[in-house]
Structures are given as C-alpha cells and as structure tokens.
Amino acid sequence: MGNCLQTSTSDDINLLRDSESSNTRDTSPEQLDPPPPYQEAVRPTVPVYHTAPNVTRPATQLTEEEQVRIAQRIGLIQHLPTGIYDGSKKNRECVICMYEFQYGDTVRFLPCMHTYHTHCIDDWLMRSFTCPSCMEPVDAALLTTYETN
C-alpha cells in the first residue's frame, strides 16, 4: 500500500519518463539494467524516439541501454497479434479508454486473451510490459508461447 520510500530508487530506471519528470534523467549508468547479451543484434538505427504521441526524445538523449531496451520492447510488442474488431461478444470494451469496440477498430490481443485498442495498449506496454486487466507479465507469457511452439 505505502512504499513511498522505495519509489525514488525503483522509478528512476523507467526509461520512458517524459520531460515533466525528467529530474531523474541524469541517473548514473550503473543504476540502469545491464544490457542483455544479444544487444548487438538489435541495436536500433532510428534516430528519434517517440515515447508517446506528444513526447519525442532525440535518440542522442537516450543511453545505449535505453535505446536497446526500447528497440527490444517495440519488437516484442510487434510480435503480439492484432486484428480488426469483428463484433465478438467476449471483449466489448477497451478498459483503458472505457469505450466499446466498434466494428473495424484495430485491436491487439495479449497472450492472456485480453484485448485492447492497439493505440491504447501499445503506449501502455512501452511503460509497463503487463496486462492492465490481469497483471500478467506479457514477456513471460510470450516466452512460454515460443517454447510450446
């Protein structure tokens, strides 16, 4: 419930903080996660990164680790299936924007079978790789899917 004394340390690894909360930007590199072993293969070439529709941060202001993690995250999100809402009864509302799906909306399906508007869930997944409805970590579920295939 509380945990306020912990946030100052746990939050500054969040690589998607925007300008409003950029007081933690000058985090020393040691506090960031170590780069994953396959870092070289996925080094992004994109010069500008849009953390959100209204937040753009030049790649020069991101550390290499951040760039790699962003590229990996984008790659993982792209792996999640999308579709066009067909009026199925199971998922009627996108719980992020609280609007009912309309025929023709682009939706994304998470491994836990929860469905959201693609533009609603993608922004969230860049911040936290968990399903907002069931809190299932998406990457764990993805790995399981890969293993069973």
Interface residues with another protein (CB under 8 A)? Answer: 1-7, 9-11, 13-14, 16-18, 20-21, 33, 52-54, 95-98, 120, 123-124, 127-130, 132-133, 135, 137
8 binds, among Zn ion, another protein, none (CB under 5 to 8 A by kind): none
Nearer to Zn ion, 68 or 121 (CB): 121
**Interface with Zn ion (CB under 5 A):** 94, 96-97, 112, 114, 117, 120, 131, 133-134
User: 3-class secondary structure for the chain?
Assistant: CCCHHHHHHHHHHCCCCCHHHHHHCCCCHHHCCCCCCCHHHHCCCCCEEEEECCEEEEHHHCCHHHHHHHHHHHHHHHHCCEEECCCCCCCCEECCCCEECCCCCEEEECCCCCEEEHHHHHHHHHHCCECCCCCCEHHHHHHHHHHHC
Nearer to another protein, 64 or 119 (CB): 119
Least CB distance to another protein at residue 119 (A):
8
Nearer to Zn ion, 57 or 111 (CB): 111
